[in-house]
Amino acid sequence: MNLKNLLTILIPTCFTGSTSTSLIEWTIASIRGRLRIDAGICDHIIYYDHKEDDNRHKEHEENLRSLANELNMSLISKVDVGLTTIVKETVNAIKTPYLLLLEHDWSFFENIKICDIIEAFEENCKINYVRFNKYENVGRPPPKDCPTSMHDSIKPEFDIKNCKIELLKTNLWSNNPCIFRVSKYKKDWMPLTKPQPGSGGHEMEITAKYWEDIRKYGFDMAHREWGCYIYGRLGDNPTIYHLDGDNQNLWDDRIQI
């Protein structure tokens, strides 16, 4: 499978108080180690969103640029655009049908069969979004009306035939690490978003519409239109870990990638 023509990896990043690139290096190392892919296999975009152009931001940008050049990745740097604009600009610019959204402070726990995931997308038009769970895949009944918290209600998927990966239906669209179908995002989800600084205006706006459809049509019918899934089987352990960009003590040791 030629992932170069199928998948782009977007790594949004921001200034966390340190000019070090250690945090994003953890994330990139997990892509290489757990997904077994690098910038030679598919395009990686580091998008640096920062508040102001003072010396510390400039130093951090230069460190990111050096890292991107070393790893043959693209670097985009803009002031205070926010995650919604980052994703919108990226999906409008790329040529691949799928995007992996992976913010700078996540690390994969488990080996991920990335080619099998992309093959599932290619062979099943009902799959539009596959997210990697930071929690155990615990089954909950599908909601009869709007859920009140950003936690998944999930159930097994039995309708997709001859699929090499296990998937669980979910009632939630989240910015947490996920792969989505670019055409679906541009047509149905991007118009729901509200560009603003920071991470707001994105996942909650999309999920609110999903919940509205669940209330109106019921979970199964709404899900057939949305096609949102969790990767793995019921009972599987978390596949992704949040490094927490605000807690520098967790990650501020340079690693080899």
* Helix, strand, coil fractions of the chain, as percent rounded to 5: 35, 20, 45
Closest Cα partner for 117 from 99, 139, 90?
99
pLDDT digits (tens, 9 = 90+) for 52-91: 777 888 999 999 999 999 999 999 999 999 999 999 999 9
The string of pLDDT tens digits covering residues 177-199 is 999 999 999 999 999 999 998 88
Percent of the chain residues past pLDDT 70, beyond the cut: 88
Which domains, and CATH codes, for the chain?
A: 3-246 (3.90.550.10)
Q: Which of 10-14, 45-49, 128-132, 235-239 has the lowest mean pLDDT?
A: 235-239
Residue 214 has pLDDT above 80, yes or no: yes
Instruction: Give pLDDT tens digits for 232-255.
Output: 988 899 999 998 755 555 444 434
Take residue 66 and report the two structure tokens written for it. 């050096």
Higher local confidence (pLDDT), 151 or 170: 170
pTM as predicted: 0.91
With vertex at residue 198, the alpha carbon angle to CA 193 and CA 201, rounded to the nearest 5 degrees, is: 20
Predicted local confidence at residue 163, as pLDDT: 85
Parallel, antiparallel or unpaired: strands 43-50 and 7-14: parallel
Residue 256 reports pLDDT greater than 60: no
